Structure 1
Amino acid sequence: MNILHIDSAITGDASVSRQLTAQIVARLKAANPAASVTYRDLNDGVPGIDTNWFKAVRLAPQEPTAEQQKLIATSDAYLKEVQDADVLVIGLPIYNFTLTAALKNWLDQIARAGISFRYTEAGPEGLLKGKRAIFAYTAGGTPFGSDLDFASGYLRFMLGFLGITDVEFVAADGLAFDREAGLARAHEALEKLAA
């Protein structure tokens, strides 16, 4: 088993999502001691896509410039980590009712037509099939699955679009109101996760 462990919280060691992703990975490793783990901290910076990225990655010139080669290599590295993974464990702290900008940038980097998805006569087809994703959803005041939660539904859809349909959430929400209750709900969900 290959595990891709992704964090994106800006709060460092105080981050509940970072604590939860570490616990999820530890649970998976305990059940699968030979599992390998690749760690990616998106808080270190994920370039946003722009016109230069489009010209380098999407248009794929025959002779890319040195700068274009760098953009291609960065996007390829993010995508290869996902392609190589059996399980993705992703920290999902909610900022302003949605996912972090770094996590959105990462999704933009890996959503590559012809590589992670393709268009067919029957509609789009995800090419990252056979993978499992577990999100550690944490929020101070945005209830998981509520009308205010603009992250979980989007991520379930987006990963499904890429072919990852086995998507689970371990949610610690309402932390600003009753931290202990929110953490207890998350740990209960964690205990129910199949390792």
Structure 2
Amino acid sequence: MSTILHIDSSLFGAEGQSGQLSRQFVEKFVQAQTVDKVIYRDLVSKPIPHLTAESFQGFGLPDEERNEQQKKIVQLSDELIKELNEADVLVMGLPLYNFTMPSTLKTYFDHIARAGITFRYTEQGPKGLLQGKKAYILAARGGVYHGTPMDTQTALIEHFLGFIGITDVEFIYAEGLAKGGDTRDVALDKAAERIDQLVA
């Protein structure tokens, strides 16, 4: 039995190309595997507030010293981390905006990177604490960037997930979608084929 954490970060939510691909992946995974629970989080319909100096400082304070706003932010962060801890499989719909991740996803990452909780510093450097999980990233892009210097997104996502202990990361790309026509159709067909291979 496994639990899936399904995250969408497209401006268009589940209707965006990355959202449609991530939903397709989850539906096929549930059909093919034994899944106990799916947790869904749409970072656009339920946005996470950007960190401020006040909220960031609140992470390092004991609860009795936090103000009300800091308590709310820590409670939200704890909820997000609880979802991650519960999940065996992370499925993420990932659009490419201006060569990087959506700001909504960056904010999510800011709230789950907690020293002593999702990572810790050791003499050998930082060690991620969310180990033993598998991540599938459904990356939808208007242009074709994978394998080129323009693809700054892939390494960034891999680096962050590895930082918190998730090192088993599989990307499924659908690129050239803005070109339309056959290019778009072929890209989506290839992504669907790759999804079928991964969930089998």
Question: Is the shorter-chain TM-score for this pair beyond 0.5, marking a shared fold?
Answer: yes
> Structure 1 residue aligned with 2:187, among 171, 182, 185?
182
* Matching of residue 92 in structure 1 with residue 97 in structure 2: no
- RMSD, aligned α-carbons: 1.5
Structure 1 Cα separation of the partners of residues 119 and 178 of structure 2: 38
For 1:181 and 1:58, the matched residues in 2 are separated by 49
- Cα distance in 2 between the residues matched to 1:96 and 1:122: 34
SS in 2 for 1:155: helix
Deviations 1:44-81 (A, max 9, x none): 21111110111211344543222221111011111111
> Is the Cα contact below 8 Å between 1:4 and 1:89 reproduced in 2?
yes
Calculate the TM-score normalised by the size of structure 1: 0.94
**Could you tell me how far apart the structure 1 residues matched to 2:163 and 2:14 are?**
32
- 1: CA distance between counterparts of 2:62 and 2:187? 46
Paired residue type of 1:4: L
CA contact (8 A) 1:145 1:153 kept: no
What does 1:14-163 correspond to in 2, within 5 Å? 14-44=15-45, 45-60=47-62, 62-163=64-165
Gaps of 5+ in 2: none
Measure the CA separation in 2 of the matches of 1:75 and 1:162: 14
| Identity between Structure 1 and Structure 2 (%) | 44
TM-score normalised to structure 2 length: 0.92
Query: What is the number of equivalent residue pairs in this alignment?
Result: 195
8 A Cα contact 1:117 1:124, kept in partner: yes
Secondary structure at 2:121 match in 1: strand
User: Using the alignment, how far apart are the partners of 1:88 and 1:72 within structure 2?
Assistant: 22
The residue that corresponds to 2:10 in the other structure is 9
Rounded to whole Å, the distance in 1 between the matches of 2:144 and 2:64 is 47
